[in-house]
C-alpha cells in the first residue's frame, strides 16, 4: 500500500510583509490592553479611616495616621462653674481649621485642604465653652451642643503636609469621638466625612453614593477590555 508523505509539522514560513503586519497588530493590541488597565487602576490617593466610639473625660491624644505619634490633643476641661472643649497640636506645624481662637465645626462634604482657613492659637484652639450661673448653663462657641460635626486638620508626616478630619459630638462638658481619617497623599485635600477613596473631584454630599457607583461601574467595564467598552456604550445613561 502506497503511503502518502506526512505533512511537515513545521509551520510554513510567512512572508516578511505578513510578519510585519502581525507584529503591528500584536503591538497595537498590547498597547490597547495596557491603556485599559491604566484607566482601570485605582488612584494612588487613599483615605485611611479609623472608626471610634470614645467619650473624652479630660484629655485624649489623637494619632490620625496611627503611626504611634500623637498629632493633636482633644481636651474637655472644667473650672469652678464653667468649662469647655479645646483642641491643640502636639507636633509643631500642625494646625486645625478655624478662625482666630476657635476651631470650626465642619459639616459633611466640606473640603479640608491647603486653602484653610486655620486657627492661630497654637497652645489650644477653643471649640466650645459653658458657664453655670444661678443653676442655668449657658454655652457658646461653634461646637456648642453639636452632633456629628468635623474638625479639619493639617498635620505633618515625616515633614510632609497631610490633611485629615475627626468626627465629634459635643454636649456641654461631654465630648464623643466617633471616627477620624486622613489622606495618605501629601498635600492632597480630603472631604470631611469621606471614609474611602481619594478622588478629590467628589466634593458633593458624601451621603449621595450615585457618582461613586457610576464611577466604579465604568472602571469595571474598562477592565473587561473591548467587550466591556462595547457593553458600556450600550448601557442606558
Q: Is residue 151 part of a domain?
A: yes
Answer whether 62's CB lies under 8 Å from 40's CB.
no
Q: What is the pLDDT of residue 170?
A: 94
Complete edge-to-edge strand list for the sheet that includes strand 146-157? 47-55, 174-183, 160-171, 146-157, 95-96
Task: Identify whether 104 is part of a domain.
Answer: yes
Under 8 Å between Cβ of 180 and 166: yes
C-alpha cell at 161: 503636609
Q: What is the pTM of this model?
A: 0.65
User: Using CA atoms, how far apart are residues 154 and 96, in angstroms rounded to an integer?
Assistant: 6
pLDDT at 75 over 60: yes
Q: Which residue has the cell 469595571?
A: 220
Instruction: State the maximum Cα–Cα separation within the chain, in Å, rounded to a whole number.
Output: 123
Tell me which of 216 and 109 has the higher pLDDT.
Answer: 109
Residue 20 lies in a domain: no
Nearest of 105, 103, 107 to residue 120 by alpha carbon = 103
Cα angle 64, 65, 70 (rounded to 5 degrees) comes to 55
DSSP state of 113: S
CA-to-CA distance for 230 and 237, rounded, in angstroms? Answer: 14
**55 lies in some domain:** yes
- How do residues 24-44 score in pLDDT, each as one tens digit? 544 444 443 333 323 333 345
**pLDDT score, position 211:** 26
Task: Assign 3-state DSSP to the chain and report helix, strand, coil percentages, each to 5.
Answer: 20, 40, 40
Q: Write down the pLDDT at residue 121.
A: 82
Residue 21 lies in a domain: no
Neighbouring C-alpha atoms within 13 Å toward the C-beta of 224: 12
**Mean residue pLDDT across the chain:** 73
Question: Would 124 be classed as within a structural domain?
Answer: yes
Residue 9 lies in a domain: no
Residue 192: per-residue pLDDT: 98
Task: Band the pLDDT of 135: cuts 50, 70, 90.
Answer: confident
Percent of the chain with pLDDT over 90: 50
Q: Residues 119, 98: contact at Cβ < 8 Å? A: yes
pLDDT digits over 82-98, tens only? 888 999 999 999 999 99
- How many folded domains does the chain comprise? 1
Residue 160 within a domain = yes
pLDDT tens profile 177-200 = 999 999 999 999 999 999 997 544
Q: What range does the domain containing 83 cover?
A: 47-210
Cis preceding-peptide flag for 211 (omega within 30 of 0): no
Amino acid at each position: 500500500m502506497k503511503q502518502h508523505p506526512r505533512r511537515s509539522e513545521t509551520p510554513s514560513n510567512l512572508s516578511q510583509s505578513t510578519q510585519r503586519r502581525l507584529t503591528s497588530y500584536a503591538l497595537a493590541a498590547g498597547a490597547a490592553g495596557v491603556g485599559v488597565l491604566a484607566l482601570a487602576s485605582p488612584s494612588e490617593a487613599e483615605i485611611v479611616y479609623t472608626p471610634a466610639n470614645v467619650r473624652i473625660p479630660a484629655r485624649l491624644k489623637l494619632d490620625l495616621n496611627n503611626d504611634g505619634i500623637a498629632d493633636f490633643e482633644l481636651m474637655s476641661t472644667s473650672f469652678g462653674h464653667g468649662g469647655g472643649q479645646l483642641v491643640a497640636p502636639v507636633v509643631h506645624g500642625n494646625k486645625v481649621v478655624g478662625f482666630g481662637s476657635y476651631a470650626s465645626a465642619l459639616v459633611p462634604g466640606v473640603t479640608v485642604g491647603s486653602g484653610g482657613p486655620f486657627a492661630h492659637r497654637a497652645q489650644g484652639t477653643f471649640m466650645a465653652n459653658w458657664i453655670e450661673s444661678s443653676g442655668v448653663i449657658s454655652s457658646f462657641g461653634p461646637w456648642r451642643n453639636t452632633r456629628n460635626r468635623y474638625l479639619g486638620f493639617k498635620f505633618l508626616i515625616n515633614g510632609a503636609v497631610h490633611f485629615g478630619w475627626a468626627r465629634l459630638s459635643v454636649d456641654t462638658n461631654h465630648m464623643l469621638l466617633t471616627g477620624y481619617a486622613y489622606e495618605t497623599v501629601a498635600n492632597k485635600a480630603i472631604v470631611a466625612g469621606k471614609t474611602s477613596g481619594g478622588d478629590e473631584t467628589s466634593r458633593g454630599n458624601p451621603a449621595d453614593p450615585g457618582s461613586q457607583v457610576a464611577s466604579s461601574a465604568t472602571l469595571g467595564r474598562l477592565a473587561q477590555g473591548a467587550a466591556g467598552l462595547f457593553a458600556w456604550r450600550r448601557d442606558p445613561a
